[in-house]
Amino acid sequence: MSAALFEPVTLRSVTIPNRIWMAPMCQYSAVASGEDAGVPHDWHFAHYAARATGGTGLILVEATAVSAEGRISPHDLGLWNDRQTEAFGRIAGFLKRHGTVPGIQLGHAGRKSGTDAPWRGGAPLALDEGGWRPLAPSPVAFGERHLVPDELTEEGIAEIVGQFAAAARRARTAGFEVIEIHGAHGYLIGEFLSPHSNHRTDRYGGSLENRVRFALEVVDAVRAVWPEELPLFFRVSATDWLERDGWTPDDTVAFAALLKEHGVDLLDVSSGGNATGVRIPVGPGYQVPFAARVRRETGLPVAAVGLITEPGQAEKIVAGGEADAVLLGRELLRNPSFARQAARELDAQVYAPEPYGYAIH
């Protein structure tokens, strides 16, 4: 029997050659200011090209901000101008030429914006250190060291919805074939979803119906400009890992059904990131049950992520129907050719560039 991990999957008109996909992982390596702010450069090209030539079926480029103030850090990538669009075209084109479907995650960091790179501590930057005032659904800081964000007006919300749509148009111009909307990890869309961070009393707060409104407006705006034949993904945190007053797995299932109705083709199921001081039971595949439940109860295709590090483990997840694909993060940082390793172990075939043939056969 062939390995389920290496069966192609078709979403709308796009066929992804295998089920080993690269999760979006910020590199915090772009130029921070000036005309090259947010522009991918040689580091980003080499980083993604290596995973493509390693056989990865789909690569989701790291969280890319829809506006300058939407960046997590000053060194994040962005997609709000032509210079950025052109540079992304080089990356998307290379991925496609080497058998990988090019995708990109679009996001806005909300109250978690304006922080330093993780290897410098990841602390919020003061305004005189290159930081900026964050935006959020409510004036509630993420942590003690974070600035209290400015509460978005309805006009401000509409402006950001438009920024997502504009970035989606640019993504298509650059040659990407999949867009993922970042609604996880306590960034802006996730902040609206959770009652932990959303204390609004207008039509964007309170009930679940109101708290998902902004997310669905973004989805609708992106879907309206994104070609009908191309798939749209959404990343969600399945739980805030809070005992009360947080986003829950039940909420995720209800929300997934709505996303399906609004034209989302796959849910990327992660967790956490919206509350400090929580205990997360981290272990191999610890988030897979959340993805499996969404798939089982809504019929929406899902990708599982979180400490998936072994070919046999990944094969079991897909073959057992827990997810339609696996998204690898740190394991692909350690091993860009994970897909080729998995193909050898599972006696399957995977793309390899001809110049690497000496090492493959």
Span between the terminal Cα atoms of the chain, in Å: 21
Contact 192, 198 (CB under 8 A): yes
Q: Say how far residue 74 (Cα) sits from the centre of its chain.
A: 19
d(CA 359, CA 39): 34
For residue 327, the cross-strand partners are 21, 305
Distance, in Å, from the CA atom of 215 to the CA atom of 271, rounded to the nearest integer, reads 17
Rounded distance between C-alpha atoms, residue 228 and residue 214, angstroms: 21
Set 28, 187, 204, 351: catalytic member: 187
Closest CA to 214 of 194, 232, 231: 194
* Catalytic (active site) residue 351: no
The DSSP output letter for 301 is -
- What are the tokens at 310? 């072994």
- Distance between CA atoms of residues 57 and 183, nearest Å: 23
282 by Cβ neighbours in 10 Å (0-12 / 13-18 / 19+) ranks as: exposed
Per DSSP, the three-state class of 174 is helix
| Burial state string for 316-354 with b = 16 or more CB within 10 A and e = fewer than 16 | bbbeeebbbbbbbbebbeebbbbbbbbbeebebebbbee
Cβ contact 277:242 at 8 Å: no
| Residues with catalytic roles | 187
